[in-house]
Structure 1
Amino acid sequence: MSKLVVISGGANNFGKGIAFGFIKEGWNVAIIDNDKKALEKINEKNLFKFHGDVSNENDIKNFYSEISNKYNRLDVIINNAAIGGFKNFFELTLDEWKKVIDINLTGYFLMVKYGSPLILENPGKGSIINISSTRAIMSEPGNEAYSTSKAGILGLTHALANSLGPNIRVNAISPGWILHENESIKDAEHKQHLVGRAGTIEDIFNLALFLANDKSGFITGQNFIIDGGMTKKMIYF
């Protein structure tokens, strides 16, 4: 039987590209996304779609209930759903702050809380991959809610690695500048990276695939920065 990976925020950009990548590798894929229109545009074999809000506990419970009934297994959880919420700090409201934290961080907690028991029912071992960001370790003005949520993901990752081992490994991926679907940038923007280009969704997928399978079986609790070297580049003005 094909392995199953679930992906939050799987109808757009990173999530969509990762989902399609796993399908091409022969996996079954289930996605949950709050963007109903984007979900309706996706029609792929071996793909299960669920319209839901990752910060809503009942939506997560219902998602996994359907997963259990349809597949009776789960191997990998990829937490990806997120919103930006970039705003001047002094104009950021408490409700706006809470919304970012609820989706970007609490949503990850809920996905693991209700999904990991399904993984543990398998005879083999599983993997959880949390998509964070280089903004967890570096920032710019107006990033308070987003950066805090992404930094929280790193703490959640190593805590879960301790709680869920040895049968479930938990790792994080922190992307830098990754081009979204149909996005193009100037040559100078590419060349500022140490590798001479910005990243692609395929770069993220390749790392996620590695962390999802047994080739990374001795890796857990880690954060993998994938940014073309930008966090190692010293910049002065």
Structure 2
Amino acid sequence: MTAKTAALVTGAASGIGECVARRFAADDRHEVVACLDLDPAVHDLRDDIGPSVHPYECDVADHDAVGDVVQQVEADADILSVVNNAGTSRYFWIGDLEPDEWDRILDVNLTGQYNVARHATPPMFEREAGSVVNVSSGAGQRGSASGGVHYSAAKAGVFGLTKGLAKQLGPHVTVNCVVPGLIDTPLMSESGLWDAAGIAEFEETLPLERVGDPDEVARVIEFCCGPGASYMTGSVVNVDGGGSLS
């Protein structure tokens, strides 16, 4: 192994991904935190979090661009942790759901995770060390009233990707899936998928009676990438305030 170790986090410009990046930058296991996001705001993280952050403005749906980023990171440090967090959602009724919209949502939410895994995990496997966390959604388990069937389909696919990778990359690389519920991120507050009344109504259905904070999810992701989760692989971990109970 090289002298440095790295974490790679997608969707890092805000929300859960930003919280994960902050946690990785504060620990002593990752000297480099590669932060990928299509949002140019990802470049602000280095000044905000610290010099260990290496920002990359990258669309995870672009297979070659992801490969270029992974190659740049690996030239300086060995990737030890991968967090596939990038995601997007837009509602369309099935009768209005055109192929280009279907393709875009699957490209970001599912194929993007494949792209990262395709480029980042073979070196991890060869070094016999590393952890991958794929972020899915309750929409993939129960369907989504707000995100559309394409979002539900993509997030369901993440479960299959996780379990398949867990079998291929064992015994030294673990692969797990974290499933957030409704979390206070831009996807909730700025996407137009939820309004205040809808959020309040949803909270009433939850045993914990509130939406989640992104750092509450980031803490679980950090655990799944650490030594405490050394005997976990192929696992699906819900972080949803009890939403999966209904």
Is TM (by shorter chain) over 0.5? yes
Indicate the residue corresponding to 2:88 in structure 1: 83
Structure 1: distance between partners of 2:150 and 2:206 = 26
Structure 2: distance between partners of 1:3 and 1:65 = 14
Structure 2: distance between partners of 1:85 and 1:189 = 19
- Which residue of 99, 105, 117 maps to 2:122? 117
The SS at the match of 2:19 is helix
Residues 43 and 56 in structure 2, CA contact (< 8 A), matched pair in contact too: no
Q: Count the aligned residue pairs.
A: 230
Indicate the residue corresponding to 1:230 in structure 2: 243
Indicate the residue corresponding to 1:149 in structure 2: 154
State the Cα distance separating 1:4 from its structure 2 match.
1.7
Indicate the residue corresponding to 2:34 in structure 1: 30
State the Cα distance separating 1:192 from its structure 2 match.
3.7
- Is residue 55 from structure 1 mapped to residue 58 from structure 2 by the alignment? no
Structure 2: distance between partners of 1:12 and 1:228 = 21
Indicate the residue corresponding to 2:214 in structure 1: 201
Indicate the residue corresponding to 1:39 in structure 2: 42
For structure 2, the 5+ residue unaligned runs are 190-194
Indicate the residue corresponding to 2:230 in structure 1: 217
Task: Please tell me the residue identity of whatever aligns with 2:53.
Answer: L
Q: In percent, how many aligned pairs have the same letter?
A: 25
Superposition TM-score, scaled by structure 2 size: 0.86
Indicate the residue corresponding to 1:164 in structure 2: 169
For structure 1, the 5+ residue unaligned runs are none
State the Cα distance separating 1:17 from its structure 2 match.
1.4
State the Cα distance separating 1:46 from its structure 2 match.
0.7
Indicate the residue corresponding to 1:65 in structure 2: 71
- The alignment's C-alpha RMSD in Å is 2.1
- Is residue 106 from structure 1 mapped to residue 106 from structure 2 by the alignment? no
Deviates more, 1:144-153 or 1:8-17: 8-17
